[in-house]
Amino acid sequence: MTMPNVISASFLLPKRPVRALVAATLALLSAALGSQAQEAPKLKIGIVTFLSGGAAGPFGIPARNAAELMVEAINNGTVPAPYNSKGIAGALIQTVVIDEAGGTTKQVTEYRNLVQRENVDLVIGYISSGDCLAVAPVTEELKKLTIFFDCGTPRIFEDASYTYLFRTGPHGTMDNVAAARYLAETAPQAKSIAGLNQNYAWGQDSWADFRLSMQALKPGISIVTEQFPKLGAGQYGAEISALLVGKPDILHTSFWGADLEGFVLQARARGVFDARKVLLSAGEPAIFRLGAQIPDGTIIGARGTHGLFAKPSALNDWFRKAYYDRFATPPIYASYKMAIAFLGVKAAYEKAAAGTGKVPTQEAVIKAFEFLEFETPSGKIRMALGKGHQAIGDNAIGTYKFDKAAGQPTFVDVKYYAAECVNPPEGVKSEAWIKSGFKGAKCN
Amino acid sequence: MRGPAVAIGLPFLLFCGLIAAGFLMPGWLRFITLIALAKGLVVLSLMLLMRAGLVSFGQGLYYGLGAYAAGLGVNLLKVTEALALLALGVAVAGAVAWVLGFLLTRYREIFFAMLSLAFSMILYGLLVKSSALGSTDGFNLPTPTFLGFAFAGTAARHALFVLTASVAFAAALLLHRYLGSTRGYLGEAIRENEIRVEYLGASVRGALHVKYVLSAALAGAGGALTAVATGHIDPDLAYWTTSGEFVFVAILSGTGSVAAPFLGSFVFEMIRTYAFAYSPNTWQMVVGATMLLVIIFMPGGLWSLFRRRPRLVTRS
């Protein structure tokens, strides 16, 4: 119970009950304080992810599951080294979970509630780029440590700079830069590309990044058609016809969720996959659901070295097994990204706390978080951009192959790209960087 | 009939109480109250139409226009004064409504509802397609100045609250006066019997046109205030579910008084935020169940709680 509630309630009550209420509150408070003195300190984390709506199934729920798993594992100290101490700098995690649905006005309201009503110590959340853009300035106003774990738009740290805000997931530019590099290497004979993307910010940005990257890598490549059906359209007959008439060598789509599954089934029946390379830039979450229905040879990205692209390591092996044992489904990239956010927070808190044996102040955590490098199930993450607030990581693209004998999706011809090869250097905007022909990129 | 002293005095006391409460409230509650007041303006605009028998499922059109007018006012025209942004939102919404009014006032009932919805979805579609405006991601607004003063942090929040509360109070008071005038009562008359209104010498379409523009201006003000308070705008403001939410709150509130929309809007925001906090997976069910209970037990909306005695409404 917070003080304001007691005060506002006391206006409504006659005098005598007020005294009783105050006495009771004081008694409760002292009891609570007394019992807390013996317990370990607490770290209250607000978690915001889609629990309803179209993005809940493919991203929101897998992310929430990962959060649940990480909170329990960190509190019990069962995460492999270097994260095997109990809690975060000795503090046990408590969570408040909020649905990301309802639009930006609602999310700004709920962010304020988390900070000012629930008194959380930090917030981890946000899948939608719109929500990230809207919440970002509020983190500065309320001066509260906030970690964006998934949203993709590079605009967050390219258009502004923030003190209290960090993003542990690399932004969306590297998805399509890596995909373009992969196609330039594996399909050098391709002369034309086409795009099929949902008509909203994610689809428009993904296509722009991919088109500019292909034009930079293969000057003179022609664009056959750019299709922008609306988000959640479900039926793609007309778009598929346009693609079949145009006969592009490469088809790019950033579809996700039910749209992606619908498109794959409809396009496959009409032979879209037969004569060309089809790239599903965010296709990874669908592979376990669709299995053999995705044709072999489809090129798929996972927005980083997540999921099947994650290299074996103690951390990754533990995460995959713990996640599978608990939820009976393998973790997808949204799960990995949520786990990365928790590990980043743990690494930053413990770096700030080193040697003191106390939970560090927010200022100390922020200082420790800037330019932090930490190990994750997806490999090393470095807070290299946005004055040390925006992460970069390696990326991987692979060719899909369904292993019929094992009944498992797999990737062949996987190519890994170093973080500096697919992310712009500090201080350069993504679009300008791609147009400059990836000036300053370090590829091995 | 109550005396004029009570009619003016009581609301004014309420208004002063609200402003004072704004300074005492914790930050999160002040923000919710502010949003409730801004959205209350849109619900008020729906009430004005409902009294004339029209239900708009597209009030998001003017809410979104008001917000985008304010947003582009800051970012393109470099206007930083909050009152100027508000005026811009009202003017743009009013102007668009004046043009669309020539068409929309020819329709009634479901046809009016669907056509208004269609126009709001056209705006939504245009905004989504324009990547210069950030498409679905939208764009941010900096904190504006207030009468030339640039506040920061908590002071800016207080200033925004006082501005929004004042606009809401002024709008409610003016609309109350309007609804009590002959032109205002034409709304009920039109709802009951249009032919009789024409026989009495009034122009039904003219009266509806005025009401439609007024209602759009109110919704535009709500949109501009929400945009400035949230600091971010995106096309969802014009989406049909946003419009639907306003109709939902209008039904929850009831059309009994100009204060009802603000009360209903506040109650709705509070129910929703606590449902978010305490049942994050099933908050929609809590909101839906509340709506059902209100419809079943309070057909006149929340405002029927404040009625002195049930008024019998006879319809032909």
ipTM for this prediction: 0.82
**B98-to-B69, B127, B212, B215, B298 alpha-carbon distances in Å:** 16, 21, 8, 11, 35
Q: Show me where the domains of chain B are located.
A: 4-306
Nearest to A133 among B26, B232, B272 (CB): B232
Half-sphere exposure of A212 (CA within 13 A, CB side): 20
* CATH code of the domain covering residue A326: 3.40.50.2300
A91 lies in some domain: yes
Range from A8-12, B85-89, B273-277, B308-312 that averages highest in pLDDT: B85-89
Tokens describing residue B156: 């800016």
Do the Cβ atoms of B31 and A141 come closer than 8 Å?
no
Cα A224-A230-A235 angle, rounded to 5 deg: 85
Cβ contacts of A53 on chain B, cutoff 8 Å: none
Same domain, A284 and A194: yes
Cβ distance A110 to B273 less than 8 Å, yes or no, reads yes
Cβ distance A136 to B140 less than 8 Å, yes or no, reads yes
Q: Which residue is closest to B228 within chain A, CA to CA?
A: A105
Same domain, A161 and A28: no
Same domain, A133 and A79: yes
Cβ contacts of B131 on chain A, cutoff 8 Å: 201, 204-205, 208
Please tell me if residue A404 touches chain B, with a CB cutoff of 8 Å: no
d(C-alpha A174, C-alpha A440), whole Å = 14
pLDDT value of residue A306: 92
A440 lies in some domain: no
Give mean pLDDT, residues B120-139: 87
3-state secondary structure of B24: helix
- In terms of Cα–Cα distance, which of B218, B4, B240 is closest to B124? B240
Same domain, A388 and A399: no
**CATH number belonging to domain B4-306:** 1.10.3470
Nearest to A116 among B28, B153, B281 (CB): B28
A444 lies in some domain: no
Q: Which residue is closest to B139 within chain A, CA to CA?
A: A133
Nearest to A113 among B28, B231, B236 (CB): B28
A441 lies in some domain: no
Same domain, A166 and A217: no
The backbone torsions φ and ψ at residue B55, rounded to the nearest 5 degrees and listed phi first, read -110, 120
d(C-alpha A361, C-alpha B54), whole Å = 57
Cβ contacts of B35 on chain A, cutoff 8 Å: 105, 109
Cβ distance A130 to B138 less than 8 Å, yes or no, reads yes
The terminus-to-terminus CA distance of chain A in angstroms comes to: 56
Interface of B with A (CB under 8 A): 25-29, 31-32, 35, 128-129, 131, 134-140, 153, 226, 230-234, 236-237, 242, 269, 272-273, 276-277, 280-281, 283-284
Please tell me if residue A204 touches chain B, with a CB cutoff of 8 Å: yes
Determine the residue among A11, A112, A165 to mutate to test chain B binding: the one whose Cβ has the most chain B Cβ atoms within 10 Å. Answer: A112
Tokens describing residue A66: 């990962």
Cβ distance A103 to B273 less than 8 Å, yes or no, reads no
A76 lies in some domain: yes
Cβ contacts of A201 on chain B, cutoff 8 Å: 131, 134-137
Number of structural domains chain A divides into: 3
Residue type, position A231, single letter: L
Nearest to B137 among A51, A118, A129 (CB): A129
A308 lies in some domain: no
pLDDT value of residue A6: 37
Query: Dihedral sign, CA of A296, A299, A300, A304?
Result: positive
Please tell me if residue A134 touches chain B, with a CB cutoff of 8 Å: yes
- In terms of Cα–Cα distance, which of B5, B6, B44 is closest to B225? B44
Which residues lie closer than 8 Å to A50 by C-beta, 6 or more apart? Answer: A56, A59, A60, A61, A99, A100, A101, A127, A128
Q: Counting Cβ atoms within 10 Å, is residue B27 exposed (0-12), middle (13-18) or buried (19+)? A: middle
Q: Which residue is closest to B285 within chain A, CA to CA?
A: A52
Residue type, position A103, single letter: G
| Percentage above 70 pLDDT, chain B | 95
- How far is residue A190 CA from its own chain's centroid? 32
d(C-alpha A395, C-alpha A178), whole Å = 7
Which residues lie closer than 8 Å to A435 by C-beta, 6 or more apart? Answer: A212, A216
Do the Cβ atoms of B207 and B186 come closer than 8 Å?
yes
Cβ distance A105 to B230 less than 8 Å, yes or no, reads yes
Average pLDDT along chain B: 88
Cβ distance B230 to A130 less than 8 Å, yes or no, reads no
Residue type, position B176, single letter: H
Please tell me if residue A96 touches chain B, with a CB cutoff of 8 Å: yes
Cβ distance B236 to A130 less than 8 Å, yes or no, reads yes
What distance in Å separates residue B66's CA from the closest CA in chain A? 15
Cβ distance A99 to B134 less than 8 Å, yes or no, reads no
Which residues lie closer than 8 Å to A416 by C-beta, 6 or more apart? Answer: A305, A309, A394, A395, A396
d(C-alpha A325, C-alpha A73), whole Å = 13
Please tell me if residue A143 touches chain B, with a CB cutoff of 8 Å: no
Cβ distance A133 to B25 less than 8 Å, yes or no, reads no
Range of the domain at A99: 42-171+316-392
Query: Dihedral sign, CA of A271, A274, A278, A280?
Result: positive
Q: Which residue is closest to B143 within chain A, CA to CA?
A: A137
Determine the residue among B137, B158, B268 to mutate to test chain A binding: the one whose Cβ has the most chain A Cβ atoms within 10 Å. Answer: B137
Cβ distance A104 to B138 less than 8 Å, yes or no, reads yes
pLDDT value of residue B201: 86
pLDDT tens digits, residue range B47-88? 999 989 899 999 999 999 999 999 999 888 888 888 999 999
Residue B309: pLDDT over 60: no
The backbone torsions φ and ψ at residue B3, rounded to the nearest 5 degrees and listed phi first, read -70, 160
Sheet containing A192-196: which strands, arranged edge to edge? A222-227, A192-196, A250-253, A277-280, A299-301, A395-403, A408-417
Please tell me if residue A5 touches chain B, with a CB cutoff of 8 Å: no
Cβ contacts of A106 on chain B, cutoff 8 Å: 272
Determine the residue among B232, B236, B243, B270 to mutate to test chain A binding: the one whose Cβ has the most chain A Cβ atoms within 10 Å. Answer: B232
Do the Cβ atoms of A125 and A73 come closer than 8 Å?
no
Nearest to A104 among B131, B230, B284 (CB): B230
Do the Cβ atoms of B38 and B166 come closer than 8 Å?
no
What distance in Å separates residue B199's CA from the closest CA in chain A? 47
Give mean pLDDT, residues B267-277: 89
HEC-encoded secondary structure of B152-171? CHHHHHHHHHHHHHHHHHHH
pLDDT by residue for chain A (444 residues), tens only, comes to 333 443 343 333 344 444 444 555 555 554 444 444 456 789 999 999 999 888 888 889 999 999 999 999 999 999 998 998 999 998 999 999 999 988 888 999 999 999 999 999 999 999 988 899 999 999 999 999 999 999 888 888 988 899 999 999 998 899 999 999 999 999 989 999 999 998 888 888 899 999 999 999 999 899 999 999 988 888 999 999 999 998 999 999 999 888 999 999 999 999 899 888 999 998 988 898 888 999 999 999 999 999 999 999 999 999 999 999 999 999 999 999 999 999 999 999 999 998 787 899 999 999 999 999 999 999 999 999 999 999 999 999 999 999 999 889 999 999 999 999 999 998 889 989 999 988 888 887
Nearest to B137 among A103, A153, A230 (CB): A153
